[in-house]
Amino acid sequence: MKKPGKILPVTLRQLVSKPATVRYPAGPEKQFPNLRAKITFDAELCVGCNACVRDCPTDAIEILTVGEKQYKAILKTDSCVFCSQCVDSCPKDALHYTPTFELATLNRESLRADI
């Protein structure tokens, strides 16, 4: 290092400037409108075409037939990469993202959810 004092102005400027990070979870979290978080399923809109199942790169979603023209979805959150392929490929908009993004748990079985 030829001039070790060059970093001193940068250091002093950073001491008085606003931090670039947020104090989450102590402070409010900022959610963007296109946030890809927890998925919900509207069974009334589903027609059972399985387009979401075919387009999922990690096989994280299953569509099961419950009755005649009645379906239920099972989402494996531990496999899901939240890529939005299933939401984009659904022709009837039966899958949607919610603003819930805190999905961490210690119980792996709770990550497989009927949605």
The confidence score (pLDDT) of residue 57 equals 93
% of the chain with per-residue pLDDT over 90? 26
| CA 33 – CA 38 distance, rounded (Å) | 14
Which helix (H) or strand (E) is 70 found in, with range?
strand 70-76
Domain residue extents for the chain: 27-114
Give the CA radius of gyration of the chain: 22
DSSP classification of residue 96: E
Q: Which pLDDT band holds residue 1 (cuts at 50, 70, 90)?
A: low
Question: For 45-79, what is each residue's pLDDT tens digit?
Answer: 999 899 999 999 999 999 999 888 899 999 988 88
Confidence of residue 103 (pLDDT cuts 50, 70, 90): confident
Residue scoring higher pLDDT (114 or 104)? 104
**Partner residues linked to 113 by β-bridges:** 75
CA distance 34 to 70: 29
Residue 106 has pLDDT above 90, yes or no: no
Residue 27 has pLDDT above 80, yes or no: no
Q: Which tokens belong to 36? A: 């890809």
**40/98 Cα distance (integer angstroms):** 7
Other CB atoms within 10 Å distance of the CB of residue 56: 21
Instruction: Please name the fold of domain 27-114.
Output: Alpha-Beta Plaits (3.30.70)
Distances (CA, A) of 113 to 10, 46, 102: 50, 17, 15
